[in-house]
Amino acid sequence: MTIQALSYFGLEVTDVDAWRSFAEDVLGLLSADDIADGTARFRMDSRAWRIEVTQGPADDLSFVGFEVADAQAFEEARERIERLGVSTHSGSEGLARRRGVLDLFYFSDPTGMQVEIFYGATELFEKPFHSPAGVSGFVTGGQGVGHVVLLVPNLIQARTFYEEVVGLRVTDIIDMPTAAGTIELVFMNCNPRHHSIAMGQASIGKRLDHFLLQVASLDDMGFAYDRALNAKMPIRATIGRHSNDHMVSFYAFTPSGVAVEYGWGARELNETWRVVRYDTASLWGHHELGPSKGY
Ligand code: FE
């Protein structure tokens, strides 16, 4: 099996309307044709949607979708995962229609999150993406939607799961110093994006530390920083550059309390990449301003 990308994810939030305004006005995402049940979905590119936001009390990540190339890779993935003793479930026709994919199956990760494997996403080239906030473009395509950073109760268990069951590769490790001691962060890839998922051990009652959206230019990132400040959104961390992927980014809190990293300029993986480790998460910047929730 070859996972090709983290292609979509879903959040559960208490206030969908506040989130929609934030997504359009600050992040620059385009609202997709909504599903009738009050769910909001957002586009970043030619895909029909990339981020789904549903109403609920969790204010957390509820599902992630990993993409494989075609029906054969899909069947191979399911057989391989079942052989590892993980029980998988076929996505219903209704769920496949809702996700806009040809087929999907799903299973739970060690935090109880729904992990979906799919192929056959819906492309809407006839409705070109345009950002309502004037973002020149998001870095997606072969690199997928962006990345998510998970807080897990048991790092070894979660790392093993995402390596062996999902089939991701470890990119590198950061031993990040914090006030509470050093926290080990593990970064994992499935395409040239430095990491599609990262994880660290923490128990704060939420599984998502932050999600990342990457934009095409430095100005796209800077304009978003200004929009976040002008909208009085709490800034979690100032603009900085990460030690491992070299992303220049800032962190803000979304209306649901979950943090978003908004970045530009990450370096990409190639066949010469070797796993390395770091003693710090950022070369410069990323000074924490908001309530500290880790990386
Ligand atoms: Fe990040």
Q: What is the pLDDT of residues 51-98, one digit of tens each?
A: 999 999 999 999 999 999 999 999 999 999 999 999 999 999 999 999
Q: What is the pLDDT of residues 205-256, one digit of tens each?
A: 899 999 999 999 999 999 999 999 999 999 999 999 999 999 999 999 999 8
What integer is the mean pLDDT of 29-48? 91
Q: Do the strands 114-119 and 60-67 form a parallel or antiparallel pair, or are they unpaired?
A: parallel
Q: What is the pLDDT of residue 290?
A: 67
CA of 1 to the centre of ligand 1 (A): 26
N- to C-terminal Cα distance for the chain? 31
Which sign, positive or negative, has the C-alpha torsion 102, 107, 112, 115? negative
Given this model, what pLDDT does residue 36 score? 73
Ligand 1 centre distance from Cα of residue 111 (Å): 19
Q: Confirm if 200 and 184 have CB atoms less than 8 A apart.
A: yes
Specify the pLDDT at position 289: 87
Q: What integer is the mean pLDDT of 183-210?
A: 96
- CA 94 – ligand 1 centroid, Å: 33
Give me the mean pLDDT over the 45-50 stretch: 98
Going from the Cα of 198 to the center of ligand 1, the distance in angstroms, rounded, reads 8
| Residue 148 CA, ligand 1 centroid: distance in Å | 7
271-279 contact pairs (CB < 8 A, 24+): 273/171, 275/170, 275/171, 275/172, 275/173, 276/172, 276/173, 277/172, 277/173, 277/174, 277/175, 278/172, 278/173, 278/174, 278/175, 278/243, 278/244, 279/174, 279/175, 279/177
Q: In the predicted model, is pLDDT for residue 292 greater than 70?
A: no
**Does the pLDDT value for residue 17 go beyond 80?**
yes
Interval between CA 211 and ligand 1 midpoint (Å): 6
Distance 250 CA to ligand 1 centre (A): 9
> What's the 176 CA to ligand 1 centre distance in angstroms?
13
The alpha carbon of 190 and the centre of ligand 1 are apart by a number of angstroms equal to 16
Distance 146 CA to ligand 1 centre (A): 9
CA of 76 to the centre of ligand 1 (A): 30
**How far, in Å, from the CA of 261 to the mean position of ligand 1?**
6
Q: What is the whole-number distance in angstroms between the Cα of residue 93 and the centre of ligand 1?
A: 34
Distance 147 CA to ligand 1 centre (A): 7
Å from CA of 212 to ligand 1 middle: 6
Residue 1: its pLDDT value, please? 52
| Mean pLDDT, residues 176-190 taken together | 93
Q: What's the pLDDT band for 291 if we cut at 50, 70, 90? A: low
| pLDDT recorded at residue 33 | 78
Domains of the chain (ranges; CATH) run: 5-119 (3.10.180.10), 141-285 (3.10.180.10)
What's the CA-to-centroid distance between 206 and ligand 1, angstroms? Answer: 16
Ligand 1 centroid, distance to 75 Cα (angstroms)? 31
- The alpha carbon of 15 and the centre of ligand 1 are apart by a number of angstroms equal to 24
Give the distance (Å) from ligand 1 centre to CA of residue 192.
15
Taking the centre of ligand 1 as the mean of its atom positions, its distance from the CA of residue 252, in whole angstroms, is: 12
Could you read off the pLDDT of 123-172 as tens digits, one per residue? 999 999 999 999 999 999 999 999 999 999 999 999 999 999 999 999 99
pLDDT of residue 294: 41
Number of H helices, E strands in the chain: 5, 18
Mean pLDDT score, 108-122:
97
Q: What is the pTM of this model?
A: 0.96
